[in-house]
Amino acid sequence: MAYHHLAVATRDITAIDAFYTVAMGFDLVKVSVGKTPEEGWAKHFFYDTGGGQLMAFWEIHDDTIGTDFETGLSRAAGLPDWVNHIAFAAADLNDIAKRKQRLLDHGHDVVEIDHGWCVSIYAVDPNGTLVEFCTTTAAFSEADRELARKALRQDDLEFEEPVSVQVHKAGATP
């Protein structure tokens, strides 16, 4: 089942809007404004990411919550940035290439990884959250399913290495 939306807090909605509309290519489609359960109010901004799914951001105006909260999903959990991330679907490798160039053109460094079964590009949003565009390049096999089930029960498994990792710097000449 697809999700409807993913919502996270931000302290800088202007930077978030520029990133998600200009660099990522999503459309701002809705805002809801209302009281919080505590003593304040909030704006809830919704971006259409495609396929009927939305990404949402809270701009919170509530003294009981304050303004000194961590917005990076991994950092808020005390983890490295690569752990908790948001992966958006890309249609195919051509879509990955276009999205990578768009991010670079708008000043964002991009890491590109061919995982062997999917290809991903990664950038960091203004909240400090790693975002990804990913396209599946190989069908899942019965062996994949068996290994996944085996990994639930044991840790002595062979490590996989990415097929390739490339770092693309914004503003660098090819």
Residue 45: HSE in the Cβ half-sphere, 13 Å Cα cutoff: 21
Chain segment 22-65, per-residue pLDDT in tens: 999 999 999 999 999 988 999 999 999 998 899 999 999 999 99
And the tokens for 88? 């958006």
- Whole-prediction pTM: 0.92
Chain segment 76-123, per-residue pLDDT in tens: 999 999 999 999 999 999 999 999 999 999 999 999 999 999 999 999
**159 secondary structure, DSSP code:** P
pLDDT confidence tier of residue 8, bands split at 50, 70 and 90: very high
And the tokens for 128? 């400090």
Sheet bearing 110-114, strands edge to edge: 85-89, 130-136, 118-124, 110-114, 164-168
**Cβ-based neighbours of 81, under 8 Å, separated by 6 or more:** 72, 74, 75, 124, 128, 129, 130
Written as one string, the DSSP assignment of 40-80 is SEEEEEEEEEETTEEEEEEEEE-TTT-S----SHHHHTT--
pLDDT, residue 2, reads: 81
Chain segment 120-150, per-residue pLDDT in tens: 999 999 999 999 999 999 999 999 999 999 9
In whole angstroms, give the CA distance from residue 80 to residue 73: 10
**Cβ-based neighbours of 164, under 8 Å, separated by 6 or more:** 112, 113, 114
Domains in the chain, CATH or no CATH each: 1-69 (3.30.720.110), 80-174 (3.10.180.10)
Q: Give CA separation, 135 vs 5, 93, 97, 100, in Å.
A: 20, 7, 11, 13
Chain segment 147-163, per-residue pLDDT in tens: 999 999 999 999 988 78
Q: What is the average pLDDT value for the chain, to the nearest integer?
A: 95
Share of the chain above pLDDT 90, in %: 91
pLDDT confidence tier of residue 174, bands split at 50, 70 and 90: low
